[in-house]
Structure 1
Amino acid sequence: MNEKIAINTEYIQLGQFLKLANIMESGGMVKLFLSENSVYVNGEAENRRGKKLYPGDQVEIEDVGTFVVSTEKEA
């Protein structure tokens, strides 16, 4: 099942998204996390913490789960 994570902006960067989804506690941990774990955005491998995510984008993190970016209205 996909967990919806609501944002109230036009987009969110992947690093911020990982903190919002309670996967990471701090931004400093994000870079290391992305270098050591498989993260896919819309089915494509991604390791840039600055990658912009928009509502409707799907983020899959191996051994963690699948998340969908949504607006606050959709959540």
Structure 2
Amino acid sequence: MLSPEKLARINELAKKKKSEGLTDVEEKEQKALREEYLTAFRGGMRHHIEGMKIVDPEGTDVTPDKLKEIQRQKGLHGRDA
């Protein structure tokens, strides 16, 4: 995840954009910070989803095969490599 300072800067730039507008330099900074945030968010979400195991009400593992393969490669949930 991004540092608290970077998150604060993203919010600061968003607030300034609404109130008075941004300079070209600030717009570029905002775009770069947002891109960095999205990259970190997507990576965290991917990690979270790849760690999921889906089980139906009867207790049967119904995790999709594609996800099982990723988990096998990463050695998650006791799936054989």
Please indicate the TM-score interval, normalised by the length of the shorter structure. Answer: under 0.3
Relative contact order higher in (CA < 8 Å, ≥ 6 apart): 1
The TM-score normalised by the length of structure 2 is 0.18
Structure of larger gyration radius: 2
Q: Which has the higher strand share?
A: 1
TM-score, with structure 1 as normaliser: 0.19
Higher helix share: 2
